[in-house]
C-alpha cells in the first residue's frame, strides 16, 4: 500500500473520471492500433456507447483519427482507430561524447526518417549552434512530415529536468550546464532533456505492449559510459535530485581504474567501450573525459574476436565478467523482474552471455536473483533516441494523479 501525498496530488473534480477514461482509451488505441470501437469497449470493460463518446472527444481534440474500414461477417463494418500522428513529428537527440545522433519520429515513436549524426562539440555554445543547424536541416529535408511538436534530448550524465541543466556529464566534461533553454531558443521549439539511462527505461515502458508488460525492471545502456534506468511499480525512479540509479558510479574496486567522474574503480570504468578497448591494448587510452585517441571501436573488436583474435576475445569476456559482477549488486539492491541491456557490447552477447550470467550468479544473494532474466535490446532499435522521442510524446498518454 502506498500512502497518499496530498501536496503531490490534484483533487478530483466532476470531469476527472472522464479525463482518466480518455487517457485509458488513448493508451489502448496506441498499444493496439488499428482497433475498432467494439474491441476498445471490450478492452475497457464498458459499453460501446460510452466508448464512442470518449472516442468522439479524442477525435475532436485531434488525438485520434478514423482510418480504414474492416471486414465483418454481419452487421456494420468496423472503422479502425489510430493515434493521429499525421503532419506532426518529434525530433529525438542522443548526445554522446564522440557523436550526436538525430532521429525524427511520429507521436508513438515510429521512425520517420534516417538517423543522422555529427561529431559532438565539447564547447557548449558551439555544440548548440551545430545542433540547431543540423535539426533545422533535417526538418527542412523532411518538411512533408509536418509540424514538429518538440525536441527530446538525452545526455550521458546527471540532469536536472526541471531546470533543464546538465548537473554532471563526466565523459563530456560538462558540469552545471544550462542546455535545454539555449537549444529551445536556437530552434524555437519546446525541448525536454533527460539522462540517457532513464530515457532508455522510458523507451522500454513506452514500447512494451500487452498486459504482461513488466512493471519492475532495470535498463543498462553500455556505451561510452554506463547508464542505468530503474522502473518500479511501473514508474521511473528519479530520487530527490533525479540522480537515482547511478549504479555506474558505484565502485567495484576502490583501487581500480580512474573513472570520468573523478573517482576510482567505478563499475563504468570496467565496462564502458573505452575500458574494453583499454584492456585490448593493455594500456589506458587517454583522458576519459575527452575523445579517444584511437580509431578502433568495440564493434571492430568484436569482429576481431569472431575472426580468431584471442586478445580481443579475452578483452570482451573480461567486460562480460565485470558486467555480471556489477549486475549482481544491482539485482541485490533492486530485485527487478527483468534486466534489459543495450549498447555495442550486446552484439557479442552470444560470446559473453555465459560469462555475464556466471558472474551475476556468483554475486547474487539468492539463486532466484542470480537467475534474473536478461533481455538484449539490439542497437538498431535506437533505444536512446526512442527514449528521447518519448520525452515529448509520452506526457499526453500519462495517467492522472488524483486524490
**CATH number, residue 10:** 1.10.10.10
Query: Are 307 and 393 members of one domain?
Result: no
Query: Are 217 and 325 members of one domain?
Result: yes
Query: Are 190 and 233 members of one domain?
Result: no
Is 375:342 a contact under the CB 8 Å cutoff?
Answer: no
Domain boundary among 83, 116, 135: 83
Query: Are 97 and 78 members of one domain?
Result: no
The total domain count for the chain is 3
What is the SS3 assignment for 9? coil
Q: What is the pLDDT of residue 396?
A: 65
pTM: 0.84
Query: Are 219 and 156 members of one domain?
Result: no
C-alpha angle 367/363/250, rounded to 5°?
135
Q: How many CA atoms lie within 13 A of 159 on its CB side?
A: 22
Residue 127 belongs to a domain with what CATH number?
A: 3.30.420.40
**What is the distance between the alpha carbons of residues 295 and 339, in angstroms, rounded to a whole number?**
31
Range with the poorest average pLDDT among 8-17, 27-36, 89-98, 255-264:
8-17
> Does residue 403 sit within a domain?
no
> Does residue 402 sit within a domain?
no
> Does residue 207 sit within a domain?
no
pLDDT band at 5 (very low <50, low <70, confident <90, very high): low
Question: Across the chain, how many H-helices and E-strands are there?
Answer: 13, 15
Q: What is the pLDDT of residue 403?
A: 43
Domain boundary among 83, 100, 124: 83
Query: Are 66 and 116 members of one domain?
Result: no
pLDDT above 70 covers a percentage of the chain that reads 88
What is the mean pLDDT of the segment spanning 246-251? 93
What is the mean pLDDT of the segment spanning 371-392? 93
Q: How many CB atoms lie within 10 A of CB 347?
A: 17
Please return the burial class of 68, using the count of CB atoms within 10 Å of its CB with bins 0-12, 13-18 and 19+: exposed
> Does residue 59 sit within a domain?
yes
175-210 confidence digits (pLDDT tens): 999 999 999 999 999 999 999 999 999 888 877 655
What is the mean pLDDT of the segment spanning 106-116? 88
Tell me the torsion sign for CA atoms 129, 130, 133, 135: negative
Domain boundary among 83, 98, 119: 83
> Does residue 1 sit within a domain?
no
> Does residue 74 sit within a domain?
yes
Query: Are 46 and 103 members of one domain?
Result: no
Q: What is the pLDDT of residue 394?
A: 77
**What is the distance between the alpha carbons of residues 374 and 227, in angstroms, rounded to a whole number?**
16
Most confident residue range from 10-14, 48-52, 213-217, 228-232: 228-232
> Does residue 29 sit within a domain?
yes
Q: What is the pLDDT of residue 290?
A: 43
Query: Are 244 and 307 members of one domain?
Result: yes
Give me the domain span that covers residue 23.
Answer: 6-83
pLDDT band at 70 (very low <50, low <70, confident <90, very high): low
pLDDT above 90 covers a percentage of the chain that reads 58
Radius of gyration of the chain (CA): 23
Q: How far is CA 295 from CA 88, 98, 225, 277, 299, in A?
A: 39, 11, 17, 10, 11
What is the mean pLDDT of the segment spanning 12-31? 75
Residue 1 confidence (pLDDT) above 60: no
Query: Are 232 and 251 members of one domain?
Result: yes
User: What is the residue-averaged pLDDT of the chain?
Assistant: 87
Query: Are 218 and 313 members of one domain?
Result: yes
pLDDT band at 109 (very low <50, low <70, confident <90, very high): confident
Question: 219: closest CA among 75, 310, 340, 305?
Answer: 340
Query: Are 197 and 221 members of one domain?
Result: no
Residue 374 confidence (pLDDT) above 60: yes
C-alpha angle 9/14/17, rounded to 5°?
70
**What is the distance between the alpha carbons of residues 388 and 227, in angstroms, rounded to a whole number?**
14
Query: Are 182 and 290 members of one domain?
Result: no
Q: What is the pLDDT of residue 359?
A: 97
What is the mean pLDDT of the segment spanning 291-314? 88
> Does residue 102 sit within a domain?
yes
Residue 150 confidence (pLDDT) above 60: yes
Q: What is the pLDDT of residue 268?
A: 95
Residue 30 confidence (pLDDT) above 90: no
Amino acid at each position: 500500500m502506498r500512502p497518499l501525498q496530498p501536496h503531490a496530488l490534484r483533487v478530483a473534480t466532476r470531469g476527472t473520471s472522464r479525463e482518466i477514461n480518455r487517457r485509458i482509451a488513448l493508451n489502448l488505441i496506441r498499444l493496439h492500433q488499428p482497433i475498432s470501437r467494439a474491441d476498445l469497449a471490450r478492452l475497457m470493460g464498458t459499453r460501446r456507447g460510452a466508448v464512442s463518446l470518449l472516442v468522439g472527444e479524442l477525435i475532436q481534440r485531434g488525438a485520434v483519427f478514423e482510418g480504414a474500414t474492416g471486414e465483418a461477417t454481419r452487421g456494420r463494418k468496423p472503422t479502425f482507430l489510430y493515434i493521429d500522428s499525421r503532419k506532426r513529428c518529434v525530433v529525438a537527440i542522443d548526445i554522446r561524447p564522440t557523436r550526436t545522433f538525430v532521429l525524427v519520429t511520429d507521436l508513438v515513436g515510429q521512425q520517420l526518417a534516417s538517423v543522422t549524426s555529427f561529431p559532438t562539440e565539447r564547447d557548449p555554445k558551439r555544440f548548440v549552434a551545430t545542433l540547431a543547424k543540423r535539426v533545422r536541416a533535417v526538418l527542412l529535408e523532411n518538411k512533408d512530415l509536418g509540424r514538429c511538436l518538440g525536441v527530446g534530448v538525452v545526455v550521458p550524465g546527471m540532469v536536472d529536468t526541471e531546470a533543464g541543466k546538465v548537473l554532471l556529464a563526466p565523459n563530456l566534461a560538462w558540469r552545471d550546464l544550462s542546455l535545454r533553454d539555449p537549444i529551445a531558443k536556437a530552434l524555437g521549439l519546446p525541448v525536454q532533456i533527460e539522462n540517457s539511462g532513464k530515457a532508455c527505461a522510458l523507451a522500454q515502458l513506452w514500447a512494451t505492449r500487452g498486459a504482461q508488460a513488466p512493471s519492475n525492471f532495470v535498463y543498462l545502456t553500455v556505451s561510452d559510459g554506463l547508464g542505468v534506468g530503474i522502473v518500479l511499480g511501473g514508474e521511473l525512479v528519479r530520487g530527490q535530485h533525479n540522480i537515482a540509479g547511478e549504479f555506474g558510479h558505484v565502485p567495484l574496486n576502490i583501487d581500480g581504474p580512474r573513472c570520468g567522474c573523478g573517482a576510482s574503480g567505478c563499475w563504468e570504468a570496467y565496462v564502458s567501450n573505452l575500458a574494453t578497448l583499454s584492456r585490448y591494448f593493455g594500456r589506458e587510452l587517454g583522458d576519459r573525459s575527452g575523445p579517444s585517441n584511437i580509431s578502433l571501436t568495440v564493434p571492430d573488436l568484436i569482429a576481431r574476436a569472431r575472426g580468431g583474435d584471442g586478445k580481443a576475445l579475452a578483452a570482451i569476456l573480461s567486460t562480460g565478467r565485470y558486467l555480471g559482477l556489477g549486475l549482481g549488486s544491482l539485482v541485490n539492491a533492486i530485485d527487478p523482474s527483468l534486466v534489459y541491456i543495450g549498447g555495442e557490447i550486446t552484439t557479442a552477447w552470444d560470446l559473453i552471455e555465459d560469462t555475464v550470467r556466471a558472474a551475476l550468479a556468483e554475486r547474487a544473494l539468492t539463486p532466484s536473483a542470480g537467475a534474473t532474466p536478461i533481455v538484449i535490446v539490439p542497437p538498431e532499435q535506437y533505444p536512446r533516441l526512442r527514449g528521447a522521442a518519448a520525452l515529448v510524446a509520452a506526457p499526453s498518454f500519462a495517467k492522472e494523479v488524483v486524490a
